[in-house]
């Protein structure tokens, strides 16, 4: 097993010069000098306007116009819920895929709205001058702009309040499904391969925007490059990254790393294990929880890997260094010192308060039954107060009516599943706090978790819709229902935790904004703002990274797809790598060396899903759909050594449309210039 | 990036039932009941005799007879050095591969000897009764057996002395090279992919044993199965695992984990970085160090991953549990308690002594120049003593002559490289011990490492062969050569470290044997002995494991090979995944779904390389060639969750011979029953 290492010198030297480029930059503030120095390219205004106007925002994701007839490209997993919505028992377009053979066959998707960013207005000065709080002022200005322009105008607060903007969107309300591959190829490898690479996912879907019943002709659309990128090529990702916390303080990250995330991970782990056990009891059970498990497993993977990232000493040392520099700069400026000097310590105190009850906090979560009763009690409690003193969401008549309505409609369709959730929570409370903790005593009252569950699931409220409707309407005062009794016993603990959360959140928001303003004054626009689900550009290059004991291959190919499917064979119980029928049949027609997915150093995060990856000409070379495991720490920092964006290569999209889905008409539409 | 997790319940359930089977079992003591219970199969004596007599031992590896005409199958990396030996400037069979088109073209390999285990004799009782030490008694018995049988008879001490055996081998001295694939496909992915999976290595080569100038007809040979194994199939690996330390104490493993391995890893890392820098300076430099770097990188990878394994809390808890049970059993038996009771503490003390000077120890290693001078001084020092009082290797006239000869012949071909080694060592000493440590003061004498190197490499001994020859013959008493001066200054430190090593080794050997005898009395033959480069059988099954954020695919295919080659493309600087010309040309002729490499739960280690993987019929289904990264901890324990053996599938061997190498005659020979 001793191996020859010819060429190692070369390759290590190459690794040292890895291309890696941090930042989710706003379109008004690109690091053009850096880009030019490194890649000999920086976009001009026409380039930026073109890609901005060809990009759309999906609910939770991104897409782009890729034909003059309003064809829109996004990820399958961005379209997933909408594809599901237009499916029915006889037409399972998620499982079987869908191809509209002509425009008439395109299916209108109720409720789906896409938005194009038409204008960005910097109103920082106006907000500063306006009376009242900055948040209210910005909201008012946005409303005024909306009335004036007829566009959807959204307030955008960048740099934790350092800049205020109004982003104006043209909204498209008639959106139709054009094409979706089978779930089995869009998410080949299922949850196992999520966040992994090498990857073989055809994670795309096509929609079309209509206006007045006709295909919409967008003022700008992206054309496909004649081929995907080559190794080392510059790649530009345009999209709407959702949320990052990179400008948070070291104390916040340490609290997440050491107390809050570990507690959350333990809780998620208990729940997922309970649900797996539930699912293993029958195929019907498995079907019932598959959606919930999907979310749980994803969250669990993200939390675990985010925490692994937070434990990286080098990355945390860099965070500490940046904070130290900023604090030193603040200390030298009396005005900044007065406004932001103590902020770091106040945030640290708030985080310490949160960390101190991290176990109590996760030990207070229990599926749906107890929260349902707690919500009944909360409503009763809020209604006892004058409207002005009530909590947010309990103030207007409409809010109260909505709450009652939600409580009335709440269903407990599967009590066995609810019982699993409760048991996981109760056993977790025991594990986290021990039997002598007052919160556990209140919960179990000396009983085992099983006995407590027994009593709880005898409850009329859980079983009887009429009892629930009555409780929602008239309250639960004096109720002897075991669920209400237990919720009442736990109320003081929940209240204390809620107060802790609200108080610490207020401190963190206020002090975080002070720190952000100080940073903005010290470092100005040389930094990019945290992600806010608004349009950003990330630049990078196709690049390997060290993974799995070797170097990750920069691309995968169709050959790799079939390799992975063949690898498991008919004997394996795990069907996650099973190919859809169309792909088995198309095999002889496909060129195995066609590039499928690729990795690049672009800095992206959830919300960027469906983002077009374009080259310097602004032509589409790929479609971003995921990050690798190491990118899970991207909420806190971008580690250039290992953080990678994963995209579908345009070659795979065109080959699939033409040779697997008999959708030559779409290939023609996409490739006609 | 949110993914659906359909099927997770099933797959997790499947993971829980992973087939995994620890043990490198001697042929006289197989866990037949366990095998039968788990796989419905246990070998009978005829089966065992058949596979034993069809297996051969290579220097450092294993092979097997696979035709009635003495054709032998082993790994390419087991044959590598021998293939190199029969190559010359005009015939680079490592780079270009080799196929003998007929028997006449087969190339005799000078010096290569293969050995077949003909008999195993348990002489434990005889050794116990014999006068003198057990080691000497066993050696004497082996010598007697050799004279009696004409076979090569080797003493074998199992269970750290609990059993004494004589293993008798038939030795084959006329061995010829028949076929070798190109290094580029035998070790596809080079050092990068070493210990990784998915893997695409055609790591095999073919030799033939001759007797009296004719192909040898072995009494037993293995036939190839008609196909490789399927997922979940039982796999049996027959071979000569080299060395394990699984019966060492917890204190030993902890000392390696916490002090010895980390210090060694730091030192290896410094040296490999220095060598990479050296190699980066010119292609000629790169060529000079490629062999050294190959070994360094392999050692570095093994040490790092061995240490990662030793840090696994679950695995170490299992070691602690087993030790606690044994110590408790010993404590209950007065005789055992008297003989072995204090042994664990004595071993722990010896390890603590080693760990305390781990930094001094690694800070005393410096390429070749200083050790050369130290050896000169050592020789002088030993010669000053009466022969009986001298250290091992310095006692007989012949030993002394050999030492002098070695010193006389020592060359310093590349002083720039020697200088790099010295600098890495000197900087390391500073890093490990700081400037005020006496050992560092003696080394640097107040100079920088660079200034010390300057003085050292002015040495006549390093540059002048005549000066070295004179020093080897007449000693270096009173020499003012800077190299000798420095070595003399460091002598007290080296002496102290040598004494520490010798004394602690003696304690560990003595007490380790006591513990081993106690374990043998308590647990008898229900455990397998540590590996001793003697014949063993490991049973297991083709099985996935969690890796790289997903599940490892159990097999790879030719499709995956081309995928990986296509993935890098012509732009990448790294050529580790470049295909040999023959494989580029053969692509259209190959069935891409042909299985290439596979993973199984078999428990193997270095020395098993080239082992046949056989099915229950004793037919070859694969050829073991590596373990995954997690198996690097296999020296200390077998972790069933992740430790995997990697083998070439017989389908790949036959397809390659037939369709890539035009070696239909070998396919015919192998497949004729």
Residue B184 and residue B580 in contact, taking contact as beta carbons nearer than 8 Å: yes
Mean pLDDT of A239-245: 95
pLDDT value of residue B12 = 30
Of all residues in chain A, the one with the smallest CA distance to B278 is A9
pLDDT value of residue B387 = 85
- A130-148 pLDDT per residue, tens: 887 788 899 999 999 999 9
Higher pLDDT, A12 or A87: A87
Reported confidence tier of residue B627, pLDDT bands at 50, 70, 90? very high
Q: Which residues contact A125 (CB under 8 A, 6 or more apart)?
A: none
pLDDT value of residue B156 = 96
Alpha-carbon span B253 to B260, nearest angstrom: 10
Of all residues in chain B, the one with the smallest CA distance to A564 is B553
Nearest-Cα distance to chain B for A575, in Å, is 7
Per-residue pLDDT at A12 exceeds 70: no
Alpha-carbon span A179 to A433, nearest angstrom: 52
Mean pLDDT of B513-532: 89
Q: Which residues contact A189 (CB under 8 A, 6 or more apart)?
A: A196, A199, A200, A201, A564, A576, A577, B550
Per-residue pLDDT at B146 exceeds 90: yes
The single residue listed with the structure tokens 């736990």 is: A490
Judged by a CB distance cut-off of 8 A, whether residue A243 touches chain B is no
φ, ψ of residue B457 in degrees (nearest 5): -85, 5
Q: Which sign does the torsion angle of CA A634, A639, A640, A643 carry?
A: negative
- B477-514 pLDDT per residue, tens: 889 999 999 999 999 999 999 999 999 999 998 898 89
Reported confidence tier of residue A645, pLDDT bands at 50, 70, 90? very high
Judged by a CB distance cut-off of 8 A, whether residue A560 touches chain B is yes
- B335-388 pLDDT per residue, tens: 999 999 999 999 999 999 999 999 999 998 888 888 899 999 999 889 989 988
- B402-431 pLDDT per residue, tens: 999 989 888 887 888 999 999 999 999 999
Nearest-Cα distance to chain B for A147, in Å, is 36
Which A-chain residues 141-200 have CB contacts (< 8 A) with chain B?
Answer: 183, 187, 189-198
A413 three-state secondary structure: coil
Per-residue pLDDT at B295 exceeds 90: no
Tell me the domain boundaries of chain A.
6-113+173-245+527-671, 325-520
Alpha-carbon span A639 to A316, nearest angstrom: 10
Q: Peptide bond preceding B198: is omega within 30 degrees of 0, i.e. cis? A: yes
Nearest-Cα distance to chain B for A299, in Å, is 9
A127 three-state secondary structure: helix
pLDDT value of residue A21 = 82
Per-residue pLDDT at A393 exceeds 60: yes
Residue A205 and residue A78 in contact, taking contact as beta carbons nearer than 8 Å: yes
Q: Do A1 and B77 touch (CB under 8 A)?
A: yes
Reported confidence tier of residue A297, pLDDT bands at 50, 70, 90? confident
pLDDT value of residue B574 = 87
Per-residue pLDDT at A19 exceeds 80: no
Chain A residue numbers touching B189 (CB-CB < 8 A): 550
pLDDT value of residue B498 = 92
Alpha-carbon span B463 to B441, nearest angstrom: 26
Could you tell me what percent of chain B has a pLDDT over 90?
A: 73
Reported confidence tier of residue A8, pLDDT bands at 50, 70, 90? very low
Per-residue pLDDT at A7 exceeds 60: no
Q: Do A555 and B549 touch (CB under 8 A)?
A: no
Reported confidence tier of residue B541, pLDDT bands at 50, 70, 90? very high
Per-residue pLDDT at B1 exceeds 50: no
Which B-chain residues 570-589 have CB contacts (< 8 A) with chain A?
Answer: 571-577
Judged by a CB distance cut-off of 8 A, whether residue B3 touches chain A is yes
Judged by a CB distance cut-off of 8 A, whether residue A474 touches chain B is no
**Residue among B5, B80, B231 whose CB faces A290 most closely:** B5
**CATH topology classification for B6-113+173-245+527-671:** Thrombin, subunit H (2.40.10)
Mean pLDDT of A70-81: 96
Q: Do B547 and A548 touch (CB under 8 A)?
A: yes
- B64-80 pLDDT per residue, tens: 999 999 999 999 999 99
Chain B residue numbers touching A567 (CB-CB < 8 A): 198, 553-557, 560
Could you tell me what percent of chain A has a pLDDT over 90?
A: 72
A165 three-state secondary structure: strand
- B324-349 pLDDT per residue, tens: 999 999 999 999 999 999 999 999 99
Alpha-carbon span B281 to B284, nearest angstrom: 9
Q: What share of chain A is helix, strand, coil (3-state, %, to 5)?
A: 50, 15, 30
Per-residue pLDDT at B546 exceeds 60: yes
**Residue among A5, A191, A286 whose CB faces B294 most closely:** A5
Per-residue pLDDT at A17 exceeds 80: no
Closest among A58, A90, A83 to B4, alpha carbons compared: A83
Closest among A577, A575, A565 to A187, alpha carbons compared: A577
Mean pLDDT of A64-68: 98
Reported confidence tier of residue A410, pLDDT bands at 50, 70, 90? confident
Across chain A, mean pLDDT equals 91
Which B-chain residues 252-311 have CB contacts (< 8 A) with chain A?
Answer: 275-276, 279-280, 286, 289-291, 293-295, 297-298, 301, 305
Per-residue pLDDT at B44 exceeds 50: yes
pLDDT value of residue A132 = 77
φ, ψ of residue A107 in degrees (nearest 5): -105, 125
Residue A175 and residue A114 in contact, taking contact as beta carbons nearer than 8 Å: yes
The single residue listed with the structure tokens 């002489």 is: B123
Residue A95 and residue A278 in contact, taking contact as beta carbons nearer than 8 Å: no
Reported confidence tier of residue B391, pLDDT bands at 50, 70, 90? confident
């Amino acid at each position: 097993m001793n191996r020859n290492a010819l060429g190692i010198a070369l390759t290590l030297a190459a690794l040292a010069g890895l291309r890696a480029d941090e930042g989710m930059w706003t379109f008004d503030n690109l690091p053009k000098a850096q880009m030019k120095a490194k890649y000999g390219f920086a976009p001009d205004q026409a380039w930026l306007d073109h890609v901005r106007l060809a990009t759309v925002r999906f609910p939770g994701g991104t897409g782009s116009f890729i034909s003059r007839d309003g064809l829109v490209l996004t990820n399958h997993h961005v379209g997933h819920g909408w594809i599901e919505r237009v499916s029915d028992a006889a037409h399972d377009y998620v499982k079987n895929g869908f191809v509209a053979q002509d425009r008439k066959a395109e299916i209108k998707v109720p409720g789906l709205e896409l938005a194009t960013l038409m204008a960005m207005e910097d109103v920082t000065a106006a907000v500063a001058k306006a009376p009242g709080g900055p948040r209210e002022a910005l909201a008012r200005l946005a409303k005024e702009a909306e009335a004036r322009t007829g566009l959807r105008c959204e307030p955008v607060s960048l740099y934790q309040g350092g800049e205020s903007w109004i982003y104006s969107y043209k909204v498209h309300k008639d959106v139709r499904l054009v094409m979706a591959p089978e779930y089995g190829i869009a998410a080949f490898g299922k949850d196992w391969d999520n966040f992994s690479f090498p990857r073989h996912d055809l994670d795309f879907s096509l929609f079309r925007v209509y206006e007045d019943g006709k295909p919409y002709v967008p003022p700008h659309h992206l054309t496909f490059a004649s081929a995907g990128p080559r190794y080392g090529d510059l790649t530009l990702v345009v999209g709407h990254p959702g949320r990052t916390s990179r400008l948070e303080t070291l104390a916040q990250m340490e609290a997440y790393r050491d107390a809050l995330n570990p507690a959350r991970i333990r809780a998620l782990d208990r729940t997922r294990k309970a649900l797996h056990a539930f699912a293993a009891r029958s195929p019907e059970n498995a079907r019932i929880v598959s959606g919930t498990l999907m979310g749980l497993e994803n969250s669990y993977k993200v939390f675990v890997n985010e925490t692994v990232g937070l434990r990286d000493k080098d990355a945390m040392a860099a965070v500490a260094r940046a904070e130290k520099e900023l604090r030193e700069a603040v200390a030298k400026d009396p005005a900044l010192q007065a406004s932001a000097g103590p902020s770091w310590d106040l945030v640290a105190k708030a985080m310490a308060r949160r960390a101190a009850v991290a176990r109590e906090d996760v030990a207070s979560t229990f599926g749906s039954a107890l929260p349902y009763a707690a919500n009944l009690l909360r409503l009763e409690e809020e209604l006892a107060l004058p409207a002005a003193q009530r909590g947010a969401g309990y103030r207007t008549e409409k809010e109260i009516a909505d709450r009652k309505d939600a409580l009335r409609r709440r269903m407990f369709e599967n009590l066995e599943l609810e019982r699993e959730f409760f048991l996981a929570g109760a056993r977790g409370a025991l594990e986290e706090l021990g039997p002598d903790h007052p919160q556990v005593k209140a919960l179990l009252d000396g009983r085992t978790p099983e006995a407590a569950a027994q009593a709880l699931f005898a409850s009329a409220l859980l079983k009887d819709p009429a009892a629930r409707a009555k409780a929602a309407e008239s309250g639960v005062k004096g109720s002897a229902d075991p669920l209400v009794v237990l919720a009442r016993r736990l109320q003081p603990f929940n209240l204390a935790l809620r107060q802790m959360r609200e108080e610490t959140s207020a401190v963190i928001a206020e002090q975080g904004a002070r720190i952000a303003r100080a940073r903005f004054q010290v470092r100005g626009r040389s930094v990019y703002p945290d992600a806010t689900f608004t349009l950003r550009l990330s630049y990078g290059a196709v690049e390997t990274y060290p993974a799995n004991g070797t170097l990750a291959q920069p691309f995968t190919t169709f050959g790799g797809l079939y390799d992975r499917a063949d690898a498991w064979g008919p004997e394996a119980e795990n069907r996650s790598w099973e190919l859809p029928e169309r792909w088995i049949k198309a095999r002889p027609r496909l060129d195995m060396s066609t590039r499928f997915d690729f990795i690049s150093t672009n800095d992206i995060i959830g919300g960027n899903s469906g983002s077009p990856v374009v080259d310097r000409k602004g032509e589409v070379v790929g479609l971003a759909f995921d990050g690798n495991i190491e990118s899970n720490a991207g909420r806190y920092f971008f580690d250039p050594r290992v953080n990678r964006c994963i995209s579908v290569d345009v070659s795979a999209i065109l080959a699939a449309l033409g040779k697997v889905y008999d959708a030559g008409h779409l290939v023609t539409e996409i490739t006609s210039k």
